[in-house]
Structure 1
Amino acid sequence: MSKKEPIQLNERVYLIDCYDMGVPERTGTYVINEQELTIVETGPSPSVKHVKDGLQTLGFSLDQVKYIIVTHIHLDHAGGVGLLLQDCPNAQVIVHARGARHLADPARLIAGAKAVYGDKFSELFDPILPISEDRLLIKGEGDTLKIGSACTLEFLDTPGHAKHHFSIYDPVSNGLFTGDTVGVRYSQLIRDGVQLYLPSTSPNQFDPEAMQHAIDRMLAMKLDAIYYGHYGMTAEPEQALRQVSEWLTVFMEEAQTVVAEEGGPELLAESLLKRVKNYLKEQGVADDHKEMEIIKLDMEVSAMGIVDYFSKLQIK
């Protein structure tokens, strides 16, 4: 795999490709170049080598890193934070209150991932290292973090994808680091001129009402940029947010039909993939586009989360 240089998104924010699952432009680490050097997301542990290389390419040493922020604790975003922290002696990890205990003791995270990924777990995620509580800094709704004389980040509680999820507002760029709450940006399609932003509705804390509330809240903020966990930045937040909202409605409509027919996540995943392929076909995108494999995987995971949501409704 050829080394990819970090991308400069604006005067002070850079994006390092984390190559999650060995796939380019799947997950990324954002570097905010302020007096207190701050990074957002680490990816899983196999991505940490790419984060380190990217920081070195940008001219930063690991002991300059002051804050490592994880939007939520899913392993593709935060699995590598313990490993990276070993080599960042001056850094603290910023995490949502609901996620902090799982970073301190990742046993349940590991067990849950092993149940889903089985034999692939080690290849995708090892090692997942605990973080001592004195290096964890909890932030929540309305909390702030000063990282420069002219930059104080603000934290927004943004459940919908997960209850342990916050987003981070950067006033200098009028931008928001949104993790997975308002969906996935399919950068390889966008580079080909086709806009695609889909919700990420993975198990087991998906909540469509909370997700829509987060979308509406961000629309009201009149942002100039959104920085996605998957992957990259859009300078057209309103268009992206409106599209992900429309797809969230589609996902839930398809799910209601499948659930009414007592179908499971496999059937829903097929149904969602068909809707997305039809949309892309209308935009002139062939079924064998290189992004389609990732979209298929995302629909499988999203379908599991939606079916899980409906099963919990029935229990209530």
Structure 2
Amino acid sequence: MAIGDVREVTVGDCSDLYYLDTGMYETEGYGAVYILDDERPAIVETGIGANYDRILDALAELDIAPEDVAVIAVTHIHLDHAGGAGLLAESCPNADVYIPGVGASLLADPGKLVAGTKNAVGDQWQYYVEPKPIPEDRIVELEDGDVIDLGEHELRVHAAPGHAFHQVVFEDPANDAVFTGDAAGIWIPDREEIVETSPPSDFDLEQCLADARTIADIDPDVLLYTHFGPRYVGDDADQALDEYATVLTEWVGAVEAKRDELDDEELMDHFAAATDHGDAWSDEKASAEAAMNVRGVVGYLDDRE
């Protein structure tokens, strides 16, 4: 799947659902945005904003007029998920922007969010654009248990605050699917591999494990990863989420063990150099991801102590 491509999600019993490779960080197969073509069309996740025009192109390809989009929904306010929300709200004038309530004010006035993102992503900031503030009267604040009605489909909101305190996941019962945000890890489809995500500053291992269990208990046939794409798990959702729990636990253990030998800067360099995702990502992206994830684990370990 090339950057800019739009594909229908055909796994399981999914219908009316499409996904787009936004080319996040100029990397194929890293950042997905989903479109539900229903009575009230919805965009789920918005990317970093830099390539939001690709989302508008995808709407055009699907014959959805921007003014017909009713819902722009983000799983959490990290800018790789919500950075394009303000730009899309401007282009889709009749859409409400659905944001987890505890983070909504940070997208209405994103100054603090931008500063925190720059600190978290380091040199990767070059791929972002400054997010547009979202007018408060366009924001719908989400809480655990809320339901977004789209027509044939609905998005049921489940709190999943381990990756970030402001994260939720969206269950789509009609598609027997869950939009996982970052609660189920990062899926590399070319390698059929699940890898960790543990960025600063809110990563909490125990809560992440509970979030994986939340998704497993929903028992979806399909996991819809923002990073990256649909994954059919069928009757093995429990196994897939247990696999991620193991990956994440072992990752934190590896960083903790190595921290006894190295200072924090050396620790990031060590894991950045040791990361290998084959040809799935560039060396630059893989190294930057590893360094960021190390920083998140270090913060978690410090807080635990």
Judge conservation of contact 1:251–1:272 (CA < 8 Å) in 2. Answer: no
Alpha-carbon distance, 1:269 to partner: 6.0
Percent sequence identity is 28
User: How far, CA to CA, are the matches of 1:196 and 1:269 in structure 2?
Assistant: 23
Aligned residue for 1:55, secondary structure, equals helix
Q: Distance in 2 between matches of 1:95 and 1:232?
A: 21
Contact 1:254 1:271 in 2 (8 A): no
Q: Quick check: 1:107 aligned with 2:111?
A: yes
Structure 2 portions without partners, runs of 5+: none
1:7-26 equivalence runs, <5 A = 7-9=7-9, 10-26=14-30
Is the 1:188–1:291 Cα contact (8 Å) retained in structure 2? no
Letter in 1 for 2:298: V
Distance 1:7 1:217 in 2: 28
Partner residue, 1:163: 165
How far 1:295 moved relative to its partner? 3.3
TM-score by length of structure 2 reads 0.90
Equivalent pair of 2:162/2:207 in contact (CA under 8 Å)? yes
- Tell me the number of residue pairs that the alignment of Structure 1 and Structure 2 aligns: 296
Alignment match, 2:97 = 93
1:291 equivalent in structure 2: 281
> What does the per-residue CA deviation read over 1:262-304, in whole Å, with 9 as the maximum and x for residues that have no partner?
5315425634864x65xxxxxxxxx753436243332211111
Report the residue type matching 1:45 in the other structure: G
C-alpha distance in 1 between matches for 2:182 and 2:3: 26
| CA distances 1:7-59 after superposition (whole Å, capped 9, x unpaired) | 10032110011111111221111001110001101101112011111111111
Tell me the amino acid that sits aligned with residue 243 of structure 2: Q
Q: Which has the higher contact order (CA 8 A, sep 6+)?
A: 2
Distance in 1, Cα, partners of 2:253 & 2:241: 19
Structure 1, unaligned stretches of length 5 or more?
A: 190-194, 278-286
| Separation in structure 2 between the aligned mates of residue 114 and residue 301 of structure 1, nearest angstrom | 11
Q: Distance in 2 between matches of 1:250 and 1:82?
A: 37
Q: Which amino acid aligns with 1:306?
A: V
Match of 1:146 in 2: 149
Find out whether 1:38 has 2:28 as its counterpart: no
What displacement does 1:114 show?
Answer: 3.4
After the TM superposition, which parts of structure 1 deviate over 6 Å for at least 4 consecutive aligned residues? none
- Counterpart Cα distance in 1 of 2:127 and 2:79: 9
- Classify 1:265/1:219 alpha carbon distance in 2 versus 1 (closer, same or farther; 3 Å): farther
8 Å Cα contact 1:186/1:291 also seen in 2: no
